[in-house]
Amino acid sequence: MKIAPSLLAADFLNLGNEIEKINASEADFLHLDVMDGVFVPNISFGFPVLEGVARACSKPLDVHMMTVEPEKWISHVRGLGAAVMNVHQEACLHLYSTVQHIHEAGMMAGVTLNPATPVETLTDIIEDLDLVLLMSVEPGFGGQPFIMHTLDKVRKLKSLRNASGSRALIEVDGGVNADTGALLANAGADILVAGSYVFRSEDMNASILKLKEL
Ligand code: DX5
Ligand code: ZN
Protein backbone atom coordinates (compact mmCIF):
# COMPACT_ATOMS: atom_id res chain seq x y z
CA MET A 1 0.00 0.00 0.00
CA LYS A 2 1.21 3.50 -0.76
CA ILE A 3 0.68 6.21 1.86
CA ALA A 4 0.13 9.94 1.44
CA PRO A 5 0.06 11.78 4.79
CA SER A 6 -2.12 14.90 4.59
CA LEU A 7 -0.41 18.08 5.75
CA LEU A 8 -3.78 19.53 6.80
CA ALA A 9 -3.42 17.75 10.16
CA ALA A 10 0.15 19.00 10.78
CA ASP A 11 1.20 21.44 13.50
CA PHE A 12 1.42 24.63 11.42
CA LEU A 13 3.56 26.37 14.04
CA ASN A 14 6.19 23.70 13.46
CA LEU A 15 5.78 23.11 9.76
CA GLY A 16 9.49 22.72 9.04
CA ASN A 17 9.77 20.08 11.70
CA GLU A 18 6.71 18.23 10.48
CA ILE A 19 8.10 18.11 6.94
CA GLU A 20 11.46 16.86 8.23
CA LYS A 21 9.59 13.98 9.85
CA ILE A 22 7.80 13.20 6.60
CA ASN A 23 11.11 13.31 4.70
CA ALA A 24 12.60 10.83 7.16
CA SER A 25 9.55 8.55 7.04
CA GLU A 26 8.42 5.77 4.72
CA ALA A 27 5.64 7.95 3.25
CA ASP A 28 5.26 7.68 -0.52
CA PHE A 29 3.76 11.15 -1.11
CA LEU A 30 2.89 14.30 0.80
CA HIS A 31 -0.80 15.14 0.27
CA LEU A 32 -1.59 18.87 0.09
CA ASP A 33 -5.18 20.10 0.44
CA VAL A 34 -5.85 23.40 -1.29
CA MET A 35 -9.23 25.00 -0.42
CA ASP A 36 -10.90 28.21 -1.57
CA GLY A 37 -13.84 28.64 0.83
CA VAL A 38 -16.18 28.35 -2.18
CA PHE A 39 -15.98 24.77 -3.44
CA VAL A 40 -15.66 23.69 0.21
CA PRO A 41 -16.68 25.66 3.33
CA ASN A 42 -13.11 26.05 4.58
CA ILE A 43 -9.75 27.61 3.62
CA SER A 44 -6.48 25.79 4.26
CA PHE A 45 -3.23 27.21 2.84
CA GLY A 46 -2.31 28.92 -0.39
CA PHE A 47 0.60 28.96 -2.81
CA PRO A 48 3.00 31.18 -0.79
CA VAL A 49 2.93 28.53 1.97
CA LEU A 50 3.01 25.65 -0.50
CA GLU A 51 6.12 27.04 -2.19
CA GLY A 52 7.99 26.81 1.12
CA VAL A 53 6.62 23.33 1.73
CA ALA A 54 7.65 22.20 -1.74
CA ARG A 55 11.21 23.47 -1.22
CA ALA A 56 11.53 21.60 2.09
CA CYS A 57 9.82 18.35 1.14
CA SER A 58 11.71 15.52 -0.54
CA LYS A 59 8.62 13.36 -1.16
CA PRO A 60 6.54 13.55 -4.35
CA LEU A 61 3.68 16.02 -3.86
CA ASP A 62 0.07 14.95 -4.30
CA VAL A 63 -1.96 18.15 -4.63
CA HIS A 64 -5.72 17.94 -3.96
CA MET A 65 -7.48 21.01 -5.34
CA MET A 66 -10.74 21.74 -3.51
CA THR A 67 -11.43 24.91 -5.49
CA VAL A 68 -13.78 26.03 -8.23
CA GLU A 69 -12.09 26.31 -11.64
CA PRO A 70 -9.02 24.26 -10.65
CA GLU A 71 -7.73 24.54 -14.24
CA LYS A 72 -6.71 28.13 -13.41
CA TRP A 73 -4.10 26.76 -10.99
CA ILE A 74 -2.37 24.21 -13.22
CA SER A 75 0.74 26.35 -13.78
CA HIS A 76 0.99 27.15 -10.05
CA VAL A 77 0.79 23.46 -9.15
CA ARG A 78 3.37 22.65 -11.81
CA GLY A 79 5.55 25.41 -10.30
CA LEU A 80 5.61 23.43 -7.05
CA GLY A 81 7.11 20.49 -8.93
CA ALA A 82 4.07 18.38 -7.97
CA ALA A 83 3.87 14.77 -9.10
CA VAL A 84 0.06 14.56 -9.03
CA MET A 85 -2.65 17.20 -9.50
CA ASN A 86 -6.11 16.13 -8.36
CA VAL A 87 -9.16 18.09 -9.51
CA HIS A 88 -12.75 17.47 -8.46
CA GLN A 89 -15.09 16.14 -11.13
CA GLU A 90 -17.78 18.34 -9.57
CA ALA A 91 -15.65 21.47 -10.15
CA CYS A 92 -14.76 20.85 -13.80
CA LEU A 93 -17.18 21.66 -16.59
CA HIS A 94 -14.66 20.54 -19.23
CA LEU A 95 -12.92 17.72 -17.45
CA TYR A 96 -11.33 16.22 -20.58
CA SER A 97 -9.49 19.48 -21.40
CA THR A 98 -8.43 19.98 -17.80
CA VAL A 99 -6.93 16.48 -17.69
CA GLN A 100 -5.11 17.16 -20.98
CA HIS A 101 -3.70 20.42 -19.62
CA ILE A 102 -2.46 18.69 -16.47
CA HIS A 103 -0.70 16.13 -18.67
CA GLU A 104 0.79 18.86 -20.87
CA ALA A 105 2.18 20.41 -17.68
CA GLY A 106 4.01 17.13 -17.04
CA MET A 107 2.00 15.93 -14.03
CA MET A 108 -0.06 12.85 -13.29
CA ALA A 109 -3.75 13.70 -13.64
CA GLY A 110 -6.08 12.67 -10.85
CA VAL A 111 -9.84 13.16 -10.69
CA THR A 112 -11.54 13.33 -7.30
CA LEU A 113 -15.12 12.28 -6.55
CA ASN A 114 -17.20 13.50 -3.62
CA PRO A 115 -18.98 10.83 -1.55
CA ALA A 116 -22.28 11.25 -3.46
CA THR A 117 -20.75 11.25 -6.97
CA PRO A 118 -20.97 7.80 -8.60
CA VAL A 119 -17.82 6.23 -10.03
CA GLU A 120 -19.68 5.59 -13.31
CA THR A 121 -19.32 9.29 -14.11
CA LEU A 122 -15.72 8.47 -15.05
CA THR A 123 -16.60 5.73 -17.57
CA ASP A 124 -15.70 7.87 -20.57
CA ILE A 125 -12.50 9.36 -19.21
CA ILE A 126 -10.93 6.71 -17.01
CA GLU A 127 -8.50 5.61 -19.75
CA ASP A 128 -6.95 9.10 -19.67
CA LEU A 129 -6.50 9.22 -15.90
CA ASP A 130 -3.46 8.31 -13.86
CA LEU A 131 -5.36 8.32 -10.59
CA VAL A 132 -8.86 8.52 -9.13
CA LEU A 133 -9.23 9.97 -5.64
CA LEU A 134 -12.38 8.84 -3.82
CA MET A 135 -13.47 11.07 -0.95
CA SER A 136 -14.56 8.98 2.03
CA VAL A 137 -15.73 12.13 3.87
CA GLU A 138 -17.20 15.38 2.58
CA PRO A 139 -14.17 17.44 1.55
CA GLY A 140 -13.07 20.46 3.57
CA PHE A 141 -12.15 19.19 7.02
CA GLY A 142 -9.88 16.62 8.60
CA GLY A 143 -10.91 14.35 11.46
CA GLN A 144 -14.32 13.25 10.13
CA PRO A 145 -15.61 9.67 10.36
CA PHE A 146 -15.09 7.36 7.37
CA ILE A 147 -18.16 6.78 5.16
CA MET A 148 -18.45 2.99 4.85
CA HIS A 149 -20.17 3.14 1.44
CA THR A 150 -16.74 4.14 0.03
CA LEU A 151 -15.78 0.45 0.16
CA ASP A 152 -18.45 -0.34 -2.47
CA LYS A 153 -17.18 2.54 -4.58
CA VAL A 154 -13.61 1.21 -4.44
CA ARG A 155 -14.80 -2.20 -5.64
CA LYS A 156 -16.90 -0.66 -8.45
CA LEU A 157 -14.07 1.61 -9.52
CA LYS A 158 -11.65 -1.29 -9.58
CA SER A 159 -13.86 -3.26 -11.95
CA LEU A 160 -14.49 -0.18 -14.11
CA ARG A 161 -10.75 0.41 -14.31
CA ASN A 162 -9.92 -3.20 -15.10
CA ALA A 163 -12.68 -3.48 -17.73
CA SER A 164 -11.43 -0.35 -19.51
CA GLY A 165 -7.77 -1.33 -19.47
CA SER A 166 -6.99 1.88 -17.56
CA ARG A 167 -4.07 1.85 -15.16
CA ALA A 168 -5.44 4.60 -12.91
CA LEU A 169 -4.44 4.24 -9.28
CA ILE A 170 -7.23 4.21 -6.70
CA GLU A 171 -6.61 6.64 -3.84
CA VAL A 172 -8.93 7.21 -0.86
CA ASP A 173 -9.07 10.30 1.35
CA GLY A 174 -10.83 10.90 4.68
CA GLY A 175 -11.17 9.07 7.97
CA VAL A 176 -8.38 6.62 7.17
CA ASN A 177 -6.86 4.76 10.14
CA ALA A 178 -5.58 1.22 10.70
CA ASP A 179 -9.14 -0.22 10.78
CA THR A 180 -10.66 1.60 7.81
CA GLY A 181 -7.30 1.23 6.01
CA ALA A 182 -7.51 -2.56 6.31
CA LEU A 183 -11.02 -2.53 4.80
CA LEU A 184 -9.81 -0.31 1.96
CA ALA A 185 -6.83 -2.54 1.26
CA ASN A 186 -9.21 -5.45 1.01
CA ALA A 187 -11.52 -3.56 -1.36
CA GLY A 188 -8.63 -2.72 -3.72
CA ALA A 189 -7.28 0.75 -2.85
CA ASP A 190 -3.72 1.54 -4.02
CA ILE A 191 -2.99 4.74 -2.06
CA LEU A 192 -4.32 5.87 1.33
CA VAL A 193 -4.38 9.53 2.38
CA ALA A 194 -4.19 9.93 6.16
CA GLY A 195 -4.20 13.22 8.05
CA SER A 196 -5.11 12.93 11.72
CA TYR A 197 -4.09 9.28 11.98
CA VAL A 198 -0.51 10.10 10.96
CA PHE A 199 0.10 13.63 12.26
CA ARG A 200 -1.72 13.20 15.59
CA SER A 201 0.06 9.97 16.46
CA GLU A 202 3.04 9.78 18.80
CA ASP A 203 5.21 7.97 16.31
CA MET A 204 4.41 9.23 12.82
CA ASN A 205 6.55 6.71 11.00
CA ALA A 206 5.12 3.78 12.99
CA SER A 207 1.61 4.84 11.91
CA ILE A 208 2.74 5.20 8.30
CA LEU A 209 4.33 1.75 8.40
CA LYS A 210 1.19 0.23 9.90
CA LEU A 211 -0.82 1.50 6.94
CA LYS A 212 1.87 0.56 4.42
CA GLU A 213 1.82 -3.05 5.53
CA LEU A 214 -1.93 -3.40 4.87
C1 DX5 B 1 -10.36 16.70 3.62
C2 DX5 B 1 -9.00 16.49 3.04
C3 DX5 B 1 -8.25 15.37 3.62
C4 DX5 B 1 -8.01 15.48 5.11
C5 DX5 B 1 -8.06 14.08 5.65
O6 DX5 B 1 -11.05 17.59 2.85
O7 DX5 B 1 -9.11 16.24 1.65
O8 DX5 B 1 -7.04 15.13 2.91
O9 DX5 B 1 -6.76 16.05 5.45
O10 DX5 B 1 -7.99 14.14 7.02
P11 DX5 B 1 -8.27 12.88 7.94
O12 DX5 B 1 -7.32 11.81 7.53
O13 DX5 B 1 -8.03 13.41 9.32
O14 DX5 B 1 -9.71 12.46 7.71
ZN1 ZN C 1 -7.27 15.63 0.54
Do 161 and 126 form a contact (C-beta atoms < 8 A)?
yes
Give the ligand at the shortest distance from the Cα of 84: 2
Q: pTM to 2 decimals?
A: 0.98
Share of the chain above pLDDT 70, in %: 100
pLDDT of residue 12: 97
Our answer to whether residue 203 is catalytic in this structure is no
Identify the band that residue 130 occupies on the pLDDT scale cut at 50, 70 and 90. very high
pLDDT of residue 152: 98
Identify the band that residue 158 occupies on the pLDDT scale cut at 50, 70 and 90. very high
Among 28, 33, 130, 190, the one annotated catalytic: 33
pLDDT of residue 212: 98
Give the ligand at the shortest distance from the Cα of 6: 1
Atom of ligand 1 nearest to the CA of 31: 8
pLDDT of residue 165: 95
pLDDT of residue 167: 96
- What is the spatial distance between Cα 160 and Cα 28, in angstroms, rounded to a whole number? 25
Our answer to whether residue 11 is catalytic in this structure is no
Residues 6+ apart with CB under 8 A from 101: 71, 74
Q: Which strand ranges, in their side-by-side order, compose the sheet holding 108-113?
A: 2-5, 191-194, 169-173, 131-135, 108-113, 84-88, 61-66, 30-35
pLDDT of residue 103: 98
How is the chain classified by DSSP, letter by letter? -EEEEBGGGS-GGGHHHHHHHHHTS--S-EEEEEE-SSSSS-----HHHHHHHHHH--SPEEEEEESSSGGGGHHHHHHTT-SEEEEEGGG-TTHHHHHHHHHHTT-EEEEEE-TTS-GGGGTTTGGG-SEEEEESS-TT-SSPPP-TTHHHHHHHHHHHHHHHT---EEEEESS--HHHHHHHHHHT-SEEEESHHHHTSSSHHHHHHHHHT-
Among 28, 62, 173, 190, the one annotated catalytic: 173
Q: Which of 8, 42, 184, 197 for a ligand 1 pocket mutation test, highest count of atoms within 8 Å of Cβ?
A: 8
Residues 6+ apart with CB under 8 A from 82: 32, 54, 60, 61, 62, 63, 107
Ligand 1 pocket by Cβ (under 6 Å): 6, 8-9, 31, 33, 64, 137, 139-144, 173-176, 193-197
Tens digit of each residue's pLDDT (9 = 90 or more) over 76-126 = 999 999 999 999 999 999 999 999 999 999 999 999 999 999 999 999 999
